[in-house]
Chain A
Amino acid sequence: MRSSLTPLGPPVSRDRIITCFPKWYTPEACLQLKEHFHGQVSVACQRRNTGTVGLRLSKVVVLGDLYVGKTSLIHRFCKNAFDRDYKATIGVDFEIERFEIAGIPYSLQIWDTAGQEKFKCIASAYYRGAQVIITAFDLSDMQTLEHTRQWLEDALRENEPGSCFVFLVGTKKDLLSGAACEQVEAEAVRLAKEMQAEYWSVSAKTGENVKAFFSRVASLAFEQSVLQDLERRSSARLQVGDGDLISAYRWNGGKSNRDPGEQEGLHPGLLLAGTCHSSLHFP
């Protein structure tokens, strides 16, 4: 039936449709140098054989010192707006962004955390189960760059080693001259390599590189999700006949099982995933 092959999920706005694999910011500090989607991923997408990936919310956490512009960065991307006034984030906030990548719907849940020390104990509870960690710093304040190391350490502590993509993002690019920016970038790239992170310079005020950056984040996360899903299903197929395993796969299909908060039904991830799931039985 044709309808079983149609992409599932809510409608996606035109500028969230990604067909070509987005490029890095600088080859000196990037997570992948390839120019196209992974071959297996392209094939799976063409055949609409991406399992539950299209129904999932991938978790992105944005960390960094207060006033580096984490909220502004997210707002520029999700709402295409910039507020000149500073308003400290209380605890955590989140946005959900729908993409269509290589024809498959894909959603990011972007968690905006408070940079103030006093909220750290609240925000850190949301680090768990992140597929992408974005550590942000202010390009015009070197101290905030130094602190990214600590922010990353805190986030990695809550996640399985090697399970997260790490990005280092310099914000407020508009405040620096070209030469000054290059100088800071050199230092940031050095640190990014050390952190095994991909480096980006952005400006939420002008919007420079913001969309390109999040497209890159979404595509890398998407590709990883598809590959993980393919791998999981092929290993499950190997053990067909064991009914328990098949049902275990079905219920562990979502990343949500990594986060106990989601299982309690309190996590928005499950709420949305649940809604989408019910739609599967619908028509």
Chain B
Amino acid sequence: MEEPPCREEEEGEEDGDEAGPEGALGKSPLQLSAEDVYDISYVLGRELMALGSDPRVTQLQFKVVRVLEMLETLVIQGGLTAEALRMERDSLRKEVEGLRRQGQPASPEVNLGPDKMVVDLTDPNRPRFTLQELRDVLQERNTLKSQLLVVQEELQCYKRWVSTVRRAQDLHVGGPEFNPQHHMHRQEQCPWYSPTLPPPSLK
């Protein structure tokens, strides 16, 4: 208590150093550290000592020491609370920074408005094609599908026609040369194929 221990705290030190132990008395009460309390105790002790050994001075000295002890407790307590708060503040600050870094791509979304969407360019399944492109692809698919259906039907007709002609040829084996014109009535089954002409799609 008599000797101010070496100061570890940096805050408010310059004043204390320049002004000596008396400087502590000039400080704002909110800035006081335990060391300042020891400085004050040193100053007060020195002055009380200068007053001599009057018993009233001794009485007063006890009370002053008691008050200083109370002050010391309050200052230390306040310091600890401040330190705890500072640590909490720092950890929260770190957390905020972390969240900010994580949510970086999402943060502009807030500014986009309700009708906008953010696309993750690293997502292989991200939307890429336009509505018009889908329309075009579907249109092309539909066209191809209808062409396929036409060709399938033509093929079916062609196969029927071939088997009809074969059957007719089998009947005419050994007889006069087969004339497909005699079998024109087969058109009833497949009207757009003339036996003498290829199907339209083969032309």
B77 part of interface (Cβ distance < 8 Å): no
* Chain A proximity mask over B151-191: 1 for CB below 8 Å, otherwise 0: 00100110010000000000000000000000011011111
A3 to B143, CA, bound (A): 31
Known: A10-B157, A276-B192. A3 touches B187 (CB 8 A): yes
Residue of B nearest to A125 (CB): B135
A260 part of interface (Cβ distance < 8 Å): no
Could you jot down 24 A-B contacts, CB within 8 Å?
A: A3-B188, A3-B191, A6-B188, A6-B191, A7-B191, A8-B191, A9-B191, A10-B153, A10-B190, A91-B135, A92-B142, A94-B145, A96-B149, A121-B131, A266-B143, A268-B145, A271-B146, A275-B150, A275-B200, A276-B192, A282-B193, A283-B184, A283-B191, A283-B192
A11 part of interface (Cβ distance < 8 Å): yes
A90 part of interface (Cβ distance < 8 Å): yes
Residues of B within 8 A of A267 (CB): 142
Residues of A within 8 A of B146 (CB): 94, 96, 268, 271-272
Residues of B within 8 A of A7 (CB): 191
Distance between B190 CB and nearest chain A CB, rounded to angstroms:
7
A279 to B194, CA, bound (A): 10
Q: How many chain-B residues does the 8 Å CB contact rule pick out?
A: 29
* Chain A proximity mask over B110-144: 1 for CB below 8 Å, otherwise 0: 00000000000000000000010011001100110
Residues of B within 8 A of A3 (CB): 184-185, 187-188, 191
Contact across chains for A283 and B194 when beta carbons are under 8 A apart: yes
A245 part of interface (Cβ distance < 8 Å): no
Contact across chains for A271 and B192 when beta carbons are under 8 A apart: no
Contact across chains for B188 and A94 when beta carbons are under 8 A apart: no
Distance between A59 CB and nearest chain B CB, rounded to angstroms:
13
Distance between B148 CB and nearest chain A CB, rounded to angstroms:
10
Distance between A99 CB and nearest chain B CB, rounded to angstroms:
14
Residue of B nearest to A271 (CB): B146
A122 to B131, CA, bound (A): 8
Known: A3-B184, A3-B187, A121-B131. A272 touches B150 (CB 8 A): yes
B30 part of interface (Cβ distance < 8 Å): no
Residues of A within 8 A of B149 (CB): 96, 268, 272
Residues of A within 8 A of B157 (CB): 10-11
Residue of B nearest to A282 (CB): B192
Nearest 9 CB-CB pairings of A with B: A279-B192, A268-B146, A10-B153, A91-B138, A283-B194, A6-B188, A271-B146, A282-B192, A8-B191
A268 to B131, CA, bound (A): 21
Residue of B nearest to A261 (CB): B139
Distance between B57 CB and nearest chain A CB, rounded to angstroms:
93
Distance between A104 CB and nearest chain B CB, rounded to angstroms:
13
Residue picked from B147, B187, B188, B192, most chain A C-beta under 10 Å: B192
A32 part of interface (Cβ distance < 8 Å): no
A272 to B152, CA, bound (A): 12
B202 part of interface (Cβ distance < 8 Å): no
A10 to B199, CA, bound (A): 13
Distance between A58 CB and nearest chain B CB, rounded to angstroms:
15
Q: Which of B134, B138, B142, B194 contacts A282 (CB 8 A)?
A: B194
B197 part of interface (Cβ distance < 8 Å): yes
A280 to B139, CA, bound (A): 28
Known: A271-B147, A283-B192. A6 touches B135 (CB 8 A): no
A183 part of interface (Cβ distance < 8 Å): no
20 further A-B pairs in the complex, CB-CB below 8 A; given A6-B191, A122-B134: A3-B185, A3-B188, A6-B187, A6-B188, A9-B191, A10-B156, A11-B153, A11-B160, A11-B190, A91-B138, A94-B145, A96-B149, A122-B138, A268-B146, A271-B143, A271-B147, A272-B150, A275-B201, A276-B192, A283-B187
A278 part of interface (Cβ distance < 8 Å): yes
Distance between A48 CB and nearest chain B CB, rounded to angstroms:
12
A2 to B185, CA, bound (A): 9
Residue of B nearest to A105 (CB): B191
Distance between B126 CB and nearest chain A CB, rounded to angstroms:
15
A9 to B192, CA, bound (A): 8
